[in-house]
Structure 1
């Protein structure tokens, strides 16, 4: 009798395991589905695109315009003090990048905010002023006409968002070049070497430019460095698996994020995976080739693109072929 009961228990064991696994799969599916719809309900959108005569045709692959707004309206007085910023409520873009992916890539291309380009209906000026004049719609049109690329998606992170997203991740690891970075105006005070930074420290690091011999061009490199560090940690197992880590990170990201009306959670997820690929060594990052950095009366110091090299870069992105500056940082 005992031997028969033992055999019966052994026969039931695989069934119990199968049922347990099935229950786990159902729970995970429900958890994932719930997160998907929860995130979708939290997405903030804006009308980032408008039809206009002469808009570039769609190229191959997918192109995102990634923008970091330097609006300080949501910063507390204490945060302004920590970040060494004033009470300016103006709307400019501190970060402008194009992310491309398709059969080639991914490629992340920084557009210096002082790039001197034609702003539709407003003559020539610094590209970041397009946002201040006409918001996301004018900025996307300005970028499209300057690059010849048709932008598929738009994503904007506000100034405070950089701080909250990094803090929700528990900070990120940033490797500061030899010689360090010390900038009184941004509050950056870092020795060379890899180090852990919280949100305020990371933002100080990427905002510095006055003590950087490369000026704005050096800053865009640090911006890409931070974006890659955030993407790498965001898809790590310690963040993705525990709900008490994932949900606060998603909440902070969604609070900081604004996307175009046609962008949903699925597109954002695909974009995030491409960004993680960049941090893992896939594709390349670069800056629009620069010819000169003159001072123009009434405008100030500007960045003038090398039209020949920039043209080759944008042509490669349109055709979804390897960019000529692959491997540049």
Structure 2
């Protein structure tokens, strides 16, 4: 600091800081030789106060939030390359979880989308009906309606008249506390059709639609029908092809010109067109319609097993094709939701008791006594009590 005379730092007013020289105005000796240099005044702690502890200094990386290295593990140098996320196990765990979530969403969304396009039809008749009964009974109808089939498709499938609209297949499926039971109704069975007299039961469909058919069967059996499922000719072909074919096991060589069927005996895989012909063939057999209902039950059971097989769910292409075939060829009764349809499909895959309604002869007329006993048991949900005499493959007494 300059003195008053501008000669430098020899102002005596600052001698208490820098120390003085040998006399007034004399040059200040170098600080190293100063007999009384500036000293730091020691700080005395207050009585009873511990001396301050010098804080440990954190490494620079940890000062900004970095995780310290585990004990015993050498710190990674700052220049070391970062590990790829694809080499971290948790990356693959997250990827698997994401794929499972997407897959489950696909499995749920596709049937819901399909159900939004399925036709729902009124099937419950008006007037007197059997009271509510334990268990659930479905009416499965295979309609020979050719609607939606082109002339070329009708020729290929040997379905004939485009205007025909009869119920080629009728089955009652009952589920409850006992074994699931499937009962075929021959289409030529003569029954009392309300308002039309006695006629073949399959004609009720064309005379009064689904409600009249349901009313006819409820009156004849005393069993209340809770649900309705209809599949057309093209529907069976589409579903069978969607699941990659089904297995049939004819017990003899069959060549049936009207249906276009030509197969050898023994178990074999067939496509949709052959499965349809197998379900329709009857002219080759002396018991005609009775042989056909056995084949129809065989086809329905085979389709059900394929539809609900794990591969139909695990294979996204098959799953999509199967669901895509449903809206075009299936119709369900009003009041049946996706869950009800799934329950029906599941029941169709396992029918421990499968037979034809008890018949008095090959003309498909019912044996009223045995048929009454069978349907009383079903109405009371006591299917464990169904005897082999009441439930035979052809309906005829052994």
Tell me if TM exceeds 0.5: yes
Which of the numbers 270, 286, 289 marks the counterpart of 2:355?
286
Which of the numbers 301, 309, 313 marks the counterpart of 1:228?
301
Aligned partner of 1:65 in structure 2 is 139
1:308 alignment partner, SS class: helix
1:51 alignment partner, SS class: coil
- Note closer, same or farther for the CA distance 1:225–1:23 as it changes in structure 2 (3 Å cut): same
Deviation >6 Å, runs of 4+: none
Note the C-alpha offset of 1:20: 4.5
Structure 2: segments with no counterpart, 5+ residues: 1-68, 77-83, 394-398
Note the C-alpha offset of 1:26: 2.7
2:196 alignment partner, SS class: coil
Which of the numbers 156, 177, 180 marks the counterpart of 2:253?
180
Quick check: 2:358–2:392 contact (8 Å CA) kept in 1?
A: no
Q: Does 1:26 align with 2:89?
A: no
Aligned partner of 1:104 in structure 2 is 178
Q: Distance in 1 between matches of 2:75 and 2:170?
A: 70
Note the C-alpha offset of 1:87: 2.7
Describe how 1:303-322 pairs up with structure 2 within 5 A: 303-321=364-382, 322=384
Quick check: 2:115–2:327 contact (8 Å CA) kept in 1?
A: no
Quick check: 2:357–2:391 contact (8 Å CA) kept in 1?
A: no
1:32 alignment partner, SS class: helix
Which of the numbers 253, 270, 288 marks the counterpart of 1:215?
288
Q: Distance in 2 between matches of 1:230 and 1:313?
A: 26
Which of the numbers 107, 124, 147 marks the counterpart of 1:49?
124
Aligned partner of 2:341 in structure 1 is 268
Quick check: 1:68–1:94 contact (8 Å CA) kept in 2?
A: yes
Note the C-alpha offset of 1:324: 2.6
Q: Does 1:157 align with 2:231?
A: yes
Structure 1: segments with no counterpart, 5+ residues: 294-301
2:145 alignment partner, SS class: coil
Note the C-alpha offset of 1:44: 0.7
Q: Distance in 1 between matches of 2:214 and 2:310?
A: 35
Quick check: 2:138–2:174 contact (8 Å CA) kept in 1?
A: yes
The CA deviation string for residues 23-79 of structure 1, in whole angstroms up to 9 with x for no partner, is 3443233223312321221221111113312x1012111100000000123222222
RMSD: 2.4
Q: Distance in 2 between matches of 1:123 and 1:73?
A: 28
- Structure in which a larger fraction of residues adopt strand: 1
Q: TM-score, normalised by structure 2?
A: 0.73
Q: Which moved further from structure 2: 98-107 or 25-34?
A: 25-34
Quick check: 1:39–1:265 contact (8 Å CA) kept in 2?
A: no
Q: Tell me how many residue pairs correspond in the alignment.
A: 312
Aligned partner of 2:278 in structure 1 is 205
Note the C-alpha offset of 1:3: 4.8
Aligned partner of 2:219 in structure 1 is 145
Note the C-alpha offset of 1:142: 0.8
Q: Distance in 2 between matches of 1:145 and 1:36?
A: 35
1:221 alignment partner, SS class: helix
Aligned partner of 2:156 in structure 1 is 82
Q: Which of the pair has more CA radius of gyration? A: 2
Q: Does 1:240 align with 2:313?
A: yes
The CA deviation string for residues 223-267 of structure 1, in whole angstroms up to 9 with x for no partner, is 000001101111112211121110111111232101111011110
1:125 alignment partner, SS class: strand
Q: Distance in 2 between matches of 1:82 and 1:255?
A: 19
- Note closer, same or farther for the CA distance 1:137–1:96 as it changes in structure 2 (3 Å cut): same
Which of the numbers 387, 391, 396 marks the counterpart of 1:324?
387
Aligned partner of 2:13 in structure 1 is none
1:218 alignment partner, SS class: helix
Higher relative contact order (CA 8 A, sep 6+): 1
Q: TM-score, normalised by structure 1?
A: 0.88
Quick check: 1:118–1:125 contact (8 Å CA) kept in 2?
A: yes
- Structure in which a larger fraction of residues adopt helix: 1
